Amino acid sequence: MNKNSKIYIAGHRGMVGSAVWRSLEADGYTNLIGRTSSELDLRNQDAVNQFIISEQPDVVIDAAARVGGILANSEYPYQFLMENLQIQNNLIDASHKQGVEKFIFLGSSCIYPKLAPQPLKEEHLLTDTLEPTNEWYAIAKITGVKACEAIRKQYGKDYVSLMPTNLYGSFDNFDLKTSHVLPAMLRKFHEAKENGNAPVTLWGSGTPMREFLYVDDMAEAVVFAVNNTLPEHLYNVGTGTDVTIKELAETIQKVIGHEGDIIWDSEKPDGTPRKLMDVSKLKLAGWNYKTELLQGIEKTYAWFLDHQASLKQVKLSK
């Protein structure tokens, strides 16, 4: 790719998309395009087709999705399935039909079976049943992976899927009802500290293990995929290391300076026991993460403090 190649980033205002935009600019790319959801409804097939026809991008990066944690997935299964299918299928199909040669599809580690061997390898896809708490989102993302694989196989195009582990960082979603575990914890501990170091109640037992990747590192993996023709269709993106949810909570508590108790509500679901990514394929290709968890949480909390006034629904919960 040359630095003037036109690159469309779907979801450029989100946590991942905005980080990808910043990383591409830092790498010297000068012809980036994006549209807000009010400017382009990615669920509308005709609108997406017309946009790709009009703009004729050289590269499309799909960082757009309806996302959320266990609670959001369980309460809105149809939306998580259908809207994600609509978004990705419209983008993939329009890009293919209009001659876009490079497409980067971003998914999630939840595409892998609940009880797949650890660490999760790319070849574990579709070998067993999914985690029920997020299967709707996972099924949509698996469909995107297979669509890109099919185009690559049938038409020889450079359509590649990157599956990140749990992401966090600047522009994350800190809404307690729809956010993922790390930003939800960060906000809970912050509010508890502001409320006289009140106790913090967290879901589950604290024993499940999770891997976390700072979003700027994920963005650099996307830039790596833009700059290189990767030989395979699917790559895991992560650190290759994990921590228990209890260790995560204690790290966040320390960063924030909360001095109250942590109460574990064991009646709430834990989700998948462990989700550790085997990231050896992408590492062998030439990419590796940079930001350790403690450093990433410190950066994320600093961003949270700087942007509280502008965050959606950031007011203290009643």
- 54-111 tens-digit pLDDT: 999 999 999 999 877 677 778 889 999 999 999 999 999 999 999 999 999 999 998 9
Residues acting as catalytic residues = 137
Using the Cα atoms of residue 305, residue 308, residue 313 and residue 316 in order, give the sign of their dihedral.
positive
Q: Strand pairing partners for 213? A: 167
pLDDT reported for residue 27: 98
pLDDT reported for residue 275: 83
Which backbone phi and psi does 185 adopt, to 5 degrees?
A: -60, -45
| Residues annotated in a binding site for NADP(+) | 11-17, 106-109, 141, 164-167, 180
What structural domains does the chain harbor? Answer: 7-310 (3.40.50.720)
Query: How confident is the model over 111-124, as a mean pLDDT?
Result: 94
- 120-166 tens-digit pLDDT: 999 999 999 998 888 999 999 999 999 999 999 999 999 999 999 99
Query: Cβ-count burial of 202 within 10 angstroms (0-12 exposed, 13-18 middle, 19+ buried)?
Result: buried
Separation between Cα atoms, residue 194 and residue 185, nearest integer Å:
14
Closest of 259, 113, 243, 119 to residue 182, by C-alpha: 243
pLDDT reported for residue 280: 98
Contact predicate 76/104, CB 8 Å: no
Please give the model's pTM, rounded to 2 decimal places: 0.91
Cα 76–chain centre separation: 18
Three-state secondary structure string covering the chain: CCCCCCEEEECCCCHHHHHHHHHHHHCCCCCEECCCCCCCCCCCHHHHHHHHHHHCCCEEEECCCCCCCHHHHHHCHHHHHHHHHHHHHHHHHHHHHCCCCEEEEECCHHHCCCCCCCCECHHHCCCCCCCHHHHHHHHHHHHHHHHHHHHHHHHCCEEEEEEECEEECCCCCCCCCCCCHHHHHHHHHHHHHHCCCCCEEEECCCCCEECEEEHHHHHHHHHHHHHCCCCCCEEEECCCCCEEHHHHHHHHHHHHCCCCCEEEECCCCCCCCEECECCHHHHHHCCCCCCCHHHHHHHHHHHHHHCHHHCCCCCCCC
| Residues annotated in a binding site | 11-17, 106-109, 141, 164-167, 180, 188, 203, 210, 270
pLDDT reported for residue 312: 52
User: Dihedral angle at the C-alpha atoms of 141, 146, 149, 151, nearest 10 degrees?
Assistant: -100
Separation between Cα atoms, residue 260 and residue 267, nearest integer Å:
21
| CA angle 232–25–108, rounded 5-degree value | 40
Q: Using 50, 70 and 90 to split pLDDT, how confident is the model at 313?
A: very low
Separation between Cα atoms, residue 215 and residue 209, nearest integer Å:
19
